[in-house]
Amino acid sequence: MKLSEAGLEITRLQNVDTVFPAQDILVQSGQLVQYGAGIYGYNSIPLKLRANIEKIIKEELEKIGCVEVQLPLLQPRSIWDESGRWNGYVEEGTLLTVKTEKSEFCLAPTAEEAIVEFSKRKLKSHKNLPTVYYQIGEKFRNEIRSRGFLLRGKSFLMMDAYSFNKDEKDLVKSYELLKIAYKNIFERLGLNVFPVAADNGAIGGKKSEEYMMISQIGEDTVLYDSKTGQGFNIEIKEKDNFIDYLKDYGIEDISSLKEEKTVELGHIFQLGTKYSETMNATYVDSNGEEKVFYMGCYGIGVSRTLATVYENNVVKDKNNNPCGFVLPYSLAPYKVQIIYKKEKENKALEIYELLNSNGVACILDDREDTTIGSSIKDVKILGTPYMIVLGDKTNDGELEIENVKTENKEIIKENIILEYFKNLSK
Amino acid sequence: MKLSEAGLEITRLQNVDTVFPAQDILVQSGQLVQYGAGIYGYNSIPLKLRANIEKIIKEELEKIGCVEVQLPLLQPRSIWDESGRWNGYVEEGTLLTVKTEKSEFCLAPTAEEAIVEFSKRKLKSHKNLPTVYYQIGEKFRNEIRSRGFLLRGKSFLMMDAYSFNKDEKDLVKSYELLKIAYKNIFERLGLNVFPVAADNGAIGGKKSEEYMMISQIGEDTVLYDSKTGQGFNIEIKEKDNFIDYLKDYGIEDISSLKEEKTVELGHIFQLGTKYSETMNATYVDSNGEEKVFYMGCYGIGVSRTLATVYENNVVKDKNNNPCGFVLPYSLAPYKVQIIYKKEKENKALEIYELLNSNGVACILDDREDTTIGSSIKDVKILGTPYMIVLGDKTNDGELEIENVKTENKEIIKENIILEYFKNLSK
């Protein structure tokens, strides 16, 4: 991408937010545009980063056999009446609703009803089970207290998966498979996310777990055991059998437990027969008998994960003020940004073409009115992990490459540039 | 994909719709699920096909320098009041609106207001122009008369692009560039789509063109000149200067004009300063003066294009009844479907793994309760362009491959199978 054609005008940062510096910088630089409380538009770089996150989620879910679907954003009231949730959600005030002359709809806040409706007609036989459907789609919530830019908004992207199982044992199997996928997803995203057991009692199955990451941007507090990588709802401290409960998770030494501020990125549930019973969703088992599905549901907040990736990679200037962010190489939509002085324009273009045409996505800072100094600052505004500076420091046939995060600079022979980036992708 | 794990149960077709056979088959086979008038959910194959269509649209738009963005689905009333369109849309009854205690929103039916708001803060200088932003996103319309499954619904996927230009001359340049992209997009989709001039008078610029395809599924009628590939609004016949008007398009012989039933897949407009004036969207020109943008807008109905690809590829049985569809090889999410008799299961699995791991996406019909005959029928329900049958007809080391559309069968050596599909992708 040539920066002159990016539909972006980067201005000097002012009073960067101290709690959510990365997202404030995205807004100040026009990469995110706010339309109202909790409603944002995306320019291309955060959108491409989000697509990279979605790709990882999809790959890991498909690896375990999940099937991608797309459920409607406009959900008819009838299915919510069937499950019995319409009135409760309306009273709570979280449902956004739409009326036409003939019907009433809500804007999908979640999709249990919609997926049951979807599956009722498709999964008629035990031979179709287990099936795990998933989608990545926009969700809506009448969020009174929007918070932290993309962290909690009226409209946000979510991955939501739903397993259909023939009995509880199979539901646990699907649940455990999803846990493996979640582990892989967050590892590939470079986020140290761990499961937090909800307080459902130690015995009788862990029916629900949240996926949390220790972070100052979060609004939860959990007990985290760094030895086992297991988290717990803070309320377990009040349990009578607190110590025994922990033993079930292999924790003998309570001193390794610490209270930590966390952000929630995912949540998984064993729903059981709750929705299939109320909505009468059945399959025919191997004896020809009609049975209700056992269901699980599994969510990852995609826009929230995007926000967390940005906030997790903030860098600071000499005065310890946030001045940008450096995205992990594997996730960054553009791997390297080329900055050059006017006389080296042809060489800059040549390197740009060479890298792009060999799969190393590259930004060329070809703006007319910038200095090398301000161009270098802007690399951290876009989050590009490497930069090549064509200034006065290098001889012909040499290039200066800088790892933006470590500030480590190297002068390399121009003819090994492709190899250099090939090694980084390994 | 193994068919037993696809979350699909294909039942025998009944009374297939005569106007929209392909989409009726998608619904009967559970690949599309209807939730209400004009509201559908997608199972994986149509969703993947739609993703392939989106990929082609994106590639062609990015080739001409368009920048992908994402604008909100929930648009605040304030920007619609600013453009002056809120009341008109509400009176017309096409706007779906959402109220919260504090604010009012509409569900995006289009995004001129949202993109002006987006650009107002970003494209401050003439150096940022021209910029063409585009998005692929859900749109909503309170469609009283839903029609033709995905063709006209309450919720549908659209590509909408918006050009920001410094003057009319530059707007025409962007418009012409988009026309080239449109031509390439529809060619790659295998759809014979042509521009239809709207009746804005021959001189003074063609301010708006629709992209149409001759088809019985459509609800428009246009005059089409097969020699030039140009279409016209049927109303031009009433023009006084009808013949002169046609000459401007290089049409001398009026006998080549025919009335045709068409489906509209795209629409492009030169908006001029309509929105930038009412919404006060300006940039600073090279003399330091504030000027309003000249804008163009460009749409392609993505779900409608998906429907058209399906309907355009319907196949019929011996009794001339629609029995399925065969997707074009380049668009099909799965290129080949493997059908086998029980004793050849290991060989079938081996071929399946070989093709999949070499980039030839493949469906294995591993369902327990089907016969070879019904499995062969189901290939056309999923739209797969090739099938491999492991039955009694071939010797060891041989495979029977059938081109589903032409019904041309070949017996090839098993060891050239990868090469066979490599040649098809060329």
A198, two tokens = 């909800």
Same domain, A101 and A207: yes
The DSSP symbol for A19 reads S
* Cα–Cα distance, B62 to B46 (Å, whole number): 24
Which of A6, A39, A72 minimises the CB distance to B40? A72
Res B77: pLDDT: 98
Q: Is residue B164 part of a domain?
A: yes
Res A206: pLDDT: 55
Q: Are A112 and A75 within 8 A, CB to CB? A: no
Q: Are A70 and B35 within 8 A, CB to CB? A: no
* Cα–Cα distance, A364 to A339 (Å, whole number): 7
With an 8 Å Cβ cutoff, are A67 and B73 in contact? no
Q: Are A345 and A355 within 8 A, CB to CB? A: no
Q: What is the DSSP string of A189-248?
A: TT--EEEEE-SS-SSS---EEEEEEE-TT--EEEEEETTTTEEEEGGGGG-TTHHHHHHT
With an 8 Å Cβ cutoff, are A71 and B123 in contact? no
pLDDT band at residue B245 using 50, 70 and 90 as cut-offs: confident
Q: Are A173 and A132 within 8 A, CB to CB? A: no
pLDDT one-digit tens code per residue, A380-404: 999 999 999 999 888 889 999 999 9
Taking contacts as CB-CB distances below 8 angstroms, the residues of chain A near B368 are 127
Chain-centroid distance, C-alpha A393:
40
**Mean pLDDT over the full length of chain B:** 94
* Angle between helix A168-188 and A44-63 (nearest 10): 140
Which residues in chain A (98-117) have CB-CB distances under 8 A to chain B? 98, 100, 103, 107, 114, 117
Q: Are A309 and A191 within 8 A, CB to CB? A: yes
Q: Is residue A3 part of a domain?
A: no
Residue in the structure block whose two tokens are 């967050």: A186
Q: Are B299 and B243 within 8 A, CB to CB? A: no
Res A336: pLDDT: 98
pLDDT band at residue A122 using 50, 70 and 90 as cut-offs: confident
Nearest to A301 by CA among A414, A394, A220: A220
Q: Is residue A316 part of a domain?
A: no
Hey, what amino acid is at A48?
K
Res B199: pLDDT: 61
pLDDT at B222 over 80: yes
Res B144: pLDDT: 85
Which of B68, B127, B140 minimises the CB distance to A44? B68
User: Looking at the DSSP assignment, which residues form a beta bridge with residue B269?
Assistant: B208, B297
Q: Is residue A281 part of a domain?
A: yes
Last residue in a domain, options B311, B340, B372? B311
With an 8 Å Cβ cutoff, are B127 and A75 in contact? no
Q: Are A299 and A250 within 8 A, CB to CB? A: no
Q: Is B154 on the interface with A (CB under 8 A)?
A: yes
With an 8 Å Cβ cutoff, are B155 and A103 in contact? no
Residue of A nearest to B71 (CA): A41
Q: Are B390 and B340 within 8 A, CB to CB? A: yes
The alpha carbon of residue A59 is apart from the nearest alpha carbon of chain B, in Å, by 14
- Alpha helices of B270-344 — where are they, by DSSP H? 274-278, 302-311
Same domain, A177 and A210: yes
Q: Which residues, at least 6 apart from B406, have a Cβ–Cβ distance to it below 8 Å?
A: none
Quickly count helices (H) and strands (E) in chain B.
12, 23
pLDDT band at residue A106 using 50, 70 and 90 as cut-offs: very high
Hey, what amino acid is at B331?
L
User: Looking at the DSSP assignment, which residues form a beta bridge with residue B97?
Assistant: B106
Same domain, B71 and B219: yes
Which of A39, A44, A140 minimises the CB distance to B67? A44
The DSSP symbol for A147 reads B
Hey, what amino acid is at A180?
I
Same domain, A221 and A242: yes
Give just the sign of the alpha carbon dihedral B27, B28, B31, B33.
Answer: positive
The alpha carbon of residue B98 is apart from the nearest alpha carbon of chain A, in Å, by 6
With an 8 Å Cβ cutoff, are A131 and B7 in contact? yes
Number of domains in chain A: 2
Hey, what amino acid is at A136?
I
pLDDT at A203 over 60: no
Hey, what amino acid is at B424?
L
Same domain, B337 and B282: no
Determine the average pLDDT of the residues in B332-347: 96
Q: What is the CATH number of the domain that holds B358?
A: 3.40.50.800
Q: Is the pTM of this model over 0.95?
A: yes
A125, two tokens = 């036989």
**Mean pLDDT over the full length of chain A:** 94
Same domain, A100 and A147: yes
pLDDT one-digit tens code per residue, B26-64: 999 999 999 999 999 999 999 999 999 999 999 999 999
Residue of A nearest to B133 (CA): A7
Last residue in a domain, options B257, B285, B311? B311
Q: Is residue A319 part of a domain?
A: no
Res A239: pLDDT: 83
pLDDT band at residue B117 using 50, 70 and 90 as cut-offs: very high
Hey, what amino acid is at B262?
T
Q: Tell me whether strands A290-292 and A408-413 are parallel, antiparallel or unpaired.
A: unpaired
* Angle between helix B345-357 and B417-424 (nearest 10): 50
User: Looking at the DSSP assignment, which residues form a beta bridge with residue A208?
Assistant: A269
Q: Are B173 and B132 within 8 A, CB to CB? A: no
pLDDT one-digit tens code per residue, B153-209: 999 999 999 999 999 999 999 999 999 999 999 999 999 999 998 765 444 445 899
The alpha carbon of residue B393 is apart from the nearest alpha carbon of chain A, in Å, by 29
Helix, strand and coil content of chain A, in percent to the nearest 5, comes to 35, 30, 35
Q: Which residues, at least 6 apart from B197, have a Cβ–Cβ distance to it below 8 Å?
A: B206, B209, B230, B231, B232, B233, B236, B249
Same domain, A142 and A249: yes
Q: Is residue A272 part of a domain?
A: yes
Same domain, B367 and B306: no
What burial class does residue A70 get, using C-beta atoms within 10 Å of its C-beta: 0-12 exposed, 13-18 middle, 19+ buried?
A: buried
With an 8 Å Cβ cutoff, are B100 and A142 in contact? yes
Nearest to B261 by CA among B207, B196, B187, B181: B196
What CA–CA distances, in Å, run from B355 to B349, B359, B403?
10, 6, 17
Last residue in a domain, options B255, B278, B311? B311
Percent of chain A with pLDDT over 90: 86
Q: Which residues, at least 6 apart from B375, have a Cβ–Cβ distance to it below 8 Å?
A: B339, B365, B367
pLDDT one-digit tens code per residue, A28-86: 999 999 999 999 999 999 999 999 999 999 999 999 999 999 999 999 999 999 999 99
pLDDT one-digit tens code per residue, B55-93: 999 999 999 999 999 999 999 999 999 999 999 999 999
A 10 A CB-CB count for A273 gives 16
Same domain, B245 and B372: no
Res B200: pLDDT: 55
Res B235: pLDDT: 85
Q: Is residue A249 part of a domain?
A: yes
ipTM of this predicted structure:
0.96
* Cα–Cα distance, A116 to B328 (Å, whole number): 33
Q: Are A146 and A152 within 8 A, CB to CB? A: yes
Res B204: pLDDT: 41
The DSSP symbol for A321 reads -
Q: Are A267 and A210 within 8 A, CB to CB? A: yes
Exposed e or buried b per residue across B158-179, where buried means at least 16 C-beta atoms within 10 angstroms of its C-beta: bbbbbbbbbeeebbbebbebbb
pLDDT at B369 over 90: no
Res B206: pLDDT: 55
pLDDT one-digit tens code per residue, B299-327: 999 999 999 999 999 999 999 999 999 99
* Cα–Cα distance, B347 to B16 (Å, whole number): 36
Same domain, B263 and B122: yes
Taking contacts as CB-CB distances below 8 angstroms, the residues of chain B near A125 are 9
Q: Is B282 on the interface with A (CB under 8 A)?
A: no
Nearest to A332 by CA among A255, A403, A235: A403
pLDDT at A258 over 60: yes
* Cα–Cα distance, B89 to B86 (Å, whole number): 5
Percent of chain A with pLDDT over 70: 98
Q: What is the CATH number of the domain that holds A117?
A: 3.30.930.10
Question: Which structural domain, as residue segments, surrounds residue B399?
Answer: 324-424
Residue in the structure block whose two tokens are 């031009």: B236
* Cα–Cα distance, B386 to B406 (Å, whole number): 10
Same domain, B205 and B249: yes
* Cα–Cα distance, A168 to A164 (Å, whole number): 10
Please report how many Cα atoms fall inside a 13 Å half-sphere around the Cα of residue A375, on the Cβ side. 24
Which residues in chain A (53-92) have CB-CB distances under 8 A to chain B? 65, 67-76, 78-79
Q: Which residues, at least 6 apart from B147, have a Cβ–Cβ distance to it below 8 Å?
A: B219
Number of Cβ pairs closer than 8 Å across A and B? 156
Which residues in chain A (322-381) have CB-CB distances under 8 A to chain B? 367-369
Taking contacts as CB-CB distances below 8 angstroms, the residues of chain B near A4 are 127-128
Same domain, A202 and A226: yes
Q: Is residue A15 part of a domain?
A: no
